[in-house]
Amino acid sequence: MAQSTRRICGFHIARGNPVSKPVRVRNIFLILIGVVGLLLKRWMAVSIGEAAYCYLGNLSVSFAVYFIISIGARRRFSKLLLVWAALTVVEAFELTNGFGIMSNVYDPLDLLANAIGIVFALAMDVVLDHLQVRRLDAT
């Protein structure tokens, strides 16, 4: 039975299907990269400097949140909606002082670091999707 697809920005997108297992595994791996970045921020502050300690956590968590939401949303969300949802979550965390659960020191540059982390995640997602489509087209 033929699967219904649509082409968006040059990518074949299956309609109504959940994220494939390889993409889900890839996204879990990328979430773990974000977690590792968060855990290594103190170590990297020694070599890179204070900026790494202050903002690498925001970059890493924002990167991971994008892929967490992409797993939960499956293919129901466009990339733009994924960016919006991830940005809303991480910026709300900043602006509400850790949702009132965690202590968080407000710094306006944290908001920029969050946005940069999500843009980096989007770029990674688009590039990896493109590579996957090229690999599938080659077979």
Tell me if the pTM is above 0.85. Answer: no
Is residue 28 domain-resident?
yes
Is residue 35 domain-resident?
yes
| pLDDT on residue 85 | 95
Is residue 59 domain-resident?
yes
Task: List the single range of 56-60, 65-69, 95-99, 122-126 with lowest mean pLDDT.
Answer: 95-99
Report how many domains make up the chain.
1
| pLDDT on residue 8 | 55
| pLDDT on residue 1 | 38
Q: What percent of the chain has pLDDT over 70?
A: 83
Is residue 4 domain-resident?
no
**Dist CA 87 CA 81 (whole Å):** 10
Q: What is the pLDDT of residues 45-65, one digit of tens each?
A: 777 777 777 888 899 999 999
Is residue 12 domain-resident?
no
DSSP 132: H
Q: What is the pLDDT of residues 17-50, one digit of tens each?
A: 456 888 889 999 999 999 999 888 888 777 777 7
The more confidently predicted of residues 93 and 138 is 93
- Our measurement of the distance from residue 6's CA atom to the centroid of its chain's CA atoms, rounded to an integer in Å, reads 23
Decide if pLDDT at 2 tops 50: no
Is residue 5 domain-resident?
no
| Residue ranges making up the domain that contains 30 | 20-138
DSSP 103: -
- Our measurement of the distance from residue 120's CA atom to the centroid of its chain's CA atoms, rounded to an integer in Å, reads 8
**Dist CA 53 CA 42 (whole Å):** 6
Decide if pLDDT at 4 tops 70: no
Is residue 27 domain-resident?
yes
Q: What is the pLDDT of residues 108-121, one digit of tens each?
A: 899 999 999 999 99
Query: Does residue 133 come out as left (phi exceeding 0), alpha (psi in the -120 to 50 range) or beta?
Result: alpha
**Dist CA 9 CA 79 (whole Å):** 11
| pLDDT on residue 49 | 76
Is residue 82 domain-resident?
yes
Structural element, H or E, at residue 12: strand 11-14
